[in-house]
Amino acid sequence: MKTINPKQLEQKEREWYVIDAKWLTLWRLASKIAVILRWKDKVNYASYVDNWDYVIVLNSDKFSVTWSKLSDKMYYTHSWYLWWVKESTLSELLVKKPTKALELAVSWMLPKNKLRKTMISRLKLVVWENHIYNAQQPKELKL
């Protein structure tokens, strides 16, 4: 038997999914999004083929975290000057950039290679209840 390369399979349309992040835990939500973005839930998965789907996350700033992670979880940024590392907690980050925490969590769960940038570009984070991607007819996912 010959091995079938996923590139040989019929290329179908990319699917769009909608997830409501209200009251979902941050890391569990990020891991489910990373699986969908990476296409690991499909039968014909291949890490090198660009077959990934789009994910729209509604209420992307209203997720929940366990224990005291709002004050304990630290995010670091560096300005590339010597010893200029800025740190902020999760609650400070949510005030400044509401969607950045979820985007970073998903990004950290994707592979660290050239494909990461295109995978994270297919993640659409929306702070409101509705979105502008109605023309793509997204499917709603219940997590």
Question: What are the structural domain ranges in the chain?
Answer: 16-141
Q: What is the pLDDT of residue 14?
A: 85
Bridge partners (DSSP) listed for residue 75: 88
Taking phi first (over 0 means left), then psi (-120 to 50 degrees means alpha), and beta for anything else, what does residue 107 get? alpha
The DSSP letter of residue 67 is: T
Query: What CATH fold (topology level) applies to the domain 16-141?
Result: Ribosomal Protein L13p; Chain: A; (3.90.1180)
pLDDT in tens, 86-102: 999 999 999 999 999 99
pLDDT in tens, 24-70: 999 999 999 999 999 888 877 778 777 789 999 999 999 999 999 99
